[in-house]
């Protein structure tokens, strides 16, 4: 930038960029792209200013700009040149648009940089009140023209490629991923010494790595994957790294389920079976490879464009994915092999069949022995450390992870809820699929139920329901349906506070019937199809929700509070939970219902943030260090809170806000000798195993 010392001499043209507001004076004939780079304006370019890519388009202003004190004349930029005319003819330019690398500054000018021309543009989330995503991926493209070999100045093709990157882009010290070396010479010659390099760089200060090469100009088709590797399901989002858009999403059941439905049963499998950990590692890697292939086909993208991936998962899945035996996570002090963030390549995880061997995989840091990288991703998505009010974040799953905090401090723990919320261990339970009951209402006067199933908008008492579900039938009841059913039974007087189902005489409902030593409730009967809920089912739900609530209460105790300002239900399952029904069960602490919201798959959102913004990776590494961890397995008050939380909603905590909104019948069904197993007792759903001798 040129500054004039003589006030009487003509001044260089003033250039103002919007929306950044950055400004400076530049000599006439300076390209707009050059001015933008010198001012640090966010203006993209892949071709390095050669006028062959579509990245540096700008919109010059015309007329009076009182805000900036300038008048922009028609000749503020050089006339459209032959390069721009060719580009407009072949690819098209919007009216008034110019190529920043070709337009030269000739007078005072105000230049708008459209969102699509910005490198670090904002990607607006649906839940924009939490945060926006800055588009600054770890992978970017650079088009270069490489010097041809010269016998008089001998050097390798790689060294001349590195020199071209340094000279044309200022990228020093770029190393080549070894997997690309065999194809390097072929690609250079096919492109007639013009190639596009994809460079991966974890942060601005690190050495970049060339992880892909294409002959000629390659300016589109750069993709990444955000993967939430859960104990029950694996979800993958295919993301365009240049626009931030989600191209496709897919999910599969975790193939490790055959080794155990909850995490501790898988740890036990590894303990009790020689080679068991290796079996589970191979299973999950195969499942991941298959899912990546599926989502790439769904999105219609080539595998060689999948160059970056962020994976989040709980600690047991983290270790099994990495090929680490989870034995130490099975007993105190629940030590992790590593808790830090990891940068790996596809080949390191045996995923070269689905991804280029040079593709990078970033795994977020774990918070503690049972609070994993998925919880870190939830933190990144929901930002409790930036909250003015006290927020409880509950990621509901087979192993629930909870965070409580605000700007002052953030606490975290996990709680072993087990798979009951997902339909497992429930007599008529099933995973969410077409035909599964997902919503339930019970008339408090008649005790008659009605429900909705996945895939049908009609309620079961609506005309045409039978015809609408004829294809799928009513097949069972999924997690959200189970929660609503038990809560509705409590609100309508079919179940008492201890969790016992009353008899037909006690409830006035013939749907209550004797089932051995306890009672059951008939929800649906059609021919041979009979869907009931038993007292054993309710006990499973009580144990799961009591573990969840006990974890929340431990965090509140440690924080020194008896209330929370708001609650965020995270996880794919959390998105389908009714706040009222969850509170009637006592799954979550008492709170104004309008302050209970769903974040959907917040772990997946956090993975997508980390994928699109490399700065977020550094941010969460620092945030995790400040989170205080609580291990529920060794907290003496966990059992006390658990027993109290076995009641519906709680035996001790009064839930005044809930009761003001939804009065609950004051009932106690005297089961006598037919009471069966009563509520309370030690955790049986997902008990962490004690240290035992390891079999070899």
- Give the pLDDT confidence of 502-556 residue by residue, as tens digits: 999 999 999 999 988 899 999 999 888 899 999 999 999 999 999 999 999 999 9
Q: Where are the domains of the chain?
A: 14-117, 122-215, 223-363, 382-415+559-665
| CA distance linking residue 593 with residue 658, whole number of Å | 8
- Averaged pLDDT for residues 549-566: 96
The reported pLDDT for the residue numbered 576 is 83
| CA distance linking residue 556 with residue 564, whole number of Å | 8
Q: List residues bridging with 344 in a β-sheet.
A: 361
The reported pLDDT for the residue numbered 693 is 36
What order of strands is seen across the sheet that includes strand 175-176? 139-145, 194-200, 209-215, 175-176
pLDDT at 476 over 50: yes
Q: 122-215: same fold as 14-117?
A: yes
- The per-residue pLDDT of the chain, averaged, comes to 87
- Averaged pLDDT for residues 375-388: 95
Residue with the two structure tokens 């060719």 = 86
How far from chain centre, in Å, is Cα 244? Answer: 14
Nearest CA to 143 out of 223, 288, 70, 44 is that of 44
Residue 22 contacts residue 39 (beta carbons within 8 Å): yes
Residue 551 contacts residue 402 (beta carbons within 8 Å): yes
What is 361-374 written as a DSSP string? EEEPPP-BTTB-HH
Q: Which CATH superfamily is domain 223-363 in?
A: Domain of unknown function (DUF4445) (3.30.420.480)
Distances (CA, A) of 422 to 284, 454, 589, 677: 20, 14, 21, 22
pLDDT at 106 over 60: yes
| CA distance linking residue 242 with residue 141, whole number of Å | 10
Residue 233 contacts residue 573 (beta carbons within 8 Å): no
pLDDT at 685 over 50: no
The reported pLDDT for the residue numbered 424 is 66
- Topology of domain 14-117 in CATH is Ubiquitin-like (UB roll) (3.10.20)
Q: pLDDT confidence of 127, banded at 50, 70, 90?
A: very low
The reported pLDDT for the residue numbered 619 is 94
Nearest CA to 390 out of 372, 410, 366 is that of 410
- As its CATH architecture, domain 122-215 has Roll (3.10)
SS3 199: strand
The reported pLDDT for the residue numbered 346 is 94
The reported pLDDT for the residue numbered 26 is 92
Residue-wise pLDDT tens digits, 278-296: 999 999 999 999 999 999 9
- Averaged pLDDT for residues 647-654: 95
26 Ramachandran zone, left/alpha/beta (phi>0; psi -120 to 50): beta
Residues 277-289 as b/e (b if ≥16 CB within 10 A, e otherwise) read bebbbebbbebbb
SS3 680: coil
**Residue percentage of the chain with pLDDT more than 70:** 92
How far from chain centre, in Å, is Cα 506? Answer: 47
351 Ramachandran zone, left/alpha/beta (phi>0; psi -120 to 50): alpha
**Most confident option among 232-236, 263-267, 638-642:** 638-642
| CA distance linking residue 267 with residue 551, whole number of Å | 21
The reported pLDDT for the residue numbered 7 is 54
- Averaged pLDDT for residues 120-138: 60
- Averaged pLDDT for residues 26-51: 83
| CA distance linking residue 633 with residue 413, whole number of Å | 10
- Averaged pLDDT for residues 376-389: 95
Q: pLDDT confidence of 457, banded at 50, 70, 90?
A: very high
> How large is the greatest C-alpha to C-alpha distance in the chain, in angstroms?
105
How far from chain centre, in Å, is Cα 494? Answer: 39
pTM, two decimals, is: 0.79
| CA distance linking residue 156 with residue 168, whole number of Å | 18
| CA distance linking residue 382 with residue 605, whole number of Å | 9
Residue with the two structure tokens 């001798």 = 693
Torsion of CA 349, 353, 356, 361, to 10 degrees: -30
Q: Compute the C-alpha angle 420/281/248, nearest 5°.
A: 70
The reported pLDDT for the residue numbered 121 is 54
| CA distance linking residue 288 with residue 294, whole number of Å | 10
More confidently predicted of 30 and 154: 30
DSSP state of 495: B
SS3 177: coil
Residue with the two structure tokens 């294809």 = 471
**Residue percentage of the chain with pLDDT more than 90:** 60
How far from chain centre, in Å, is Cα 656? Answer: 34
């Amino acid at each position: 930038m040129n500054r004039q010392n003589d006030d009487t001499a003509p001044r260089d043209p003033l250039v103002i960029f919007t929306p950044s507001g950055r400004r400076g004076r530049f000599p006439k004939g300076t390209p707009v792209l050059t001015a933008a780079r010198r001012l640090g304006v966010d203006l993209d370019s892949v071709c390095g200013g050669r006028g062959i890519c579509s990245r540096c388009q700008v919109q010059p202003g015309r007329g009076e700009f009182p805000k900036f004190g300038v008048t922009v004349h028609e000749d503020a930029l050089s006339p459209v040149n032959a390069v721009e005319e060719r580009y407009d003819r072949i690819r098209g330019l919007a009216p008034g648009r110019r190529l920043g690398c070709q337009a030269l500054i000739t007078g005072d000018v105000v230049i708008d940089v459209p969102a699509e021309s910005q490198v670090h543009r904002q990607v607006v989330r649906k839940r924009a009140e939490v945060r926006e995503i800055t588009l600054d991926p770890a992978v970017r493209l650079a088009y270069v023209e490489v010097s041809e070999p010269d016998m008089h100045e001998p050097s390798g093709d790689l060294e001349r490629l590195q020199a071209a990157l340094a000279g044309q882009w200022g990228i020093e010290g770029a190393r080549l991923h070894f997997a690309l070396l065999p194809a390097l010479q072929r690609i250079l010659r096919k492109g007639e010494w013009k190639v596009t390099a994809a460079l991966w760089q974890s942060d601005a200060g690190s050495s970049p790595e060339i992880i892909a090469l294409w002959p000629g100009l390659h300016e589109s088709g750069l993709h990444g994957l955000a993967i939430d590797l859960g104990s029950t399901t694996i979800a993958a989002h295919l993301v365009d790294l240049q626009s931030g858009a989600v191209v496709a999403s897919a999910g599969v059941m975790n193939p490790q389920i055959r080794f155990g439905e909850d995490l501790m049963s898988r740890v036990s499998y590894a303990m009790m079976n020689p080679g068991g950990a290796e079996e589970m590692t191979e299973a999950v890697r195969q499942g991941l490879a298959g899912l990546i292939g599926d989502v790439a086909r769904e999105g219609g993208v080539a595998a060689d464009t999948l160059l970056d991936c962020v994976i989040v998962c709980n600690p047991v899945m983290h270790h099994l994915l990495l090929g680490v035996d989870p034995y130490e996570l099975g007993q105190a002090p629940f030590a992790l092999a590593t808790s830090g963030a990891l940068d790996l390549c596809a080949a390191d995880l045996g995923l070269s069949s689905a991804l280029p061997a040079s593709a990078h995989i970033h795994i977020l840091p774990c918070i503690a022995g049972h609070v994993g990288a998925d919880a870190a991703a939830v933190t990144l998505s929901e930002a409790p450390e930036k909250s003015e009010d006290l927020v409880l974040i509950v990621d509901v799953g087979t192993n629930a992870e909870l965070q409580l905090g605000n700007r002052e401090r953030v606490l975290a723990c996990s709680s072993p809820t087990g798979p009951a919320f997902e339909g497992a261990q429930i007599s008529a339970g099933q995973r969410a699929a077409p035909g599964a009951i997902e919503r339930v209402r019970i008339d408090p006067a008649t005790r008659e139920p009605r429900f909705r199933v996945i895939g049908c908008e009609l309620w079961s008492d609506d005309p045409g329901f039978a015809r609408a579900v004829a294809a799928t039938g009513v097949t069972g009841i999924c997690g959200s349906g189970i929660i609503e059913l038990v809560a509705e039974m409590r609100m309508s007087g079919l179940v008492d506070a201890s969790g016992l189902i009353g008899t037909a005489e006690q409830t006035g409902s013939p749907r209550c019937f004797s089932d051995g030593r306890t009672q059951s409730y008939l929800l649906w009967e059609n021919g041979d199809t009979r869907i009931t809920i038993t007292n054993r089912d309710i006990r499973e739900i009580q144990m799961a929700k009591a573990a969840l609530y006990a974890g929340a209460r431990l965090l509140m105790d440690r924080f020194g509070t008896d209330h929370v300002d708001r609650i965020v239900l995270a996880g794919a399952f959390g998105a389908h939970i009714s706040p009222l029904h969850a509170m009637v069960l006592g799954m979550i602490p008492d709170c104004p219902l309008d302050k209970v919201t769903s974040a959907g798959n917040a772990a997946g959102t956090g993975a997508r943030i980390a994928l699109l913004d490399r700065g977020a990776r550094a941010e969460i590494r620092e945030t995790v260090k400040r989170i205080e961890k609580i291990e529920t397995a060794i907290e003496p008050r966990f059992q006390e809170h658990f027993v109290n939380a076995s009641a519906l909603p709680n035996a001790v905590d009064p839930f005044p806000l809930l009761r003001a909104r939804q009065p609950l019948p004051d009932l106690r069904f005297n089961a006598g000798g037919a009471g069966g197993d009563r509520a309370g007792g030690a955790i049986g759903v997902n008990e962490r195993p004690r240290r035992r001798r390891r079999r070899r």
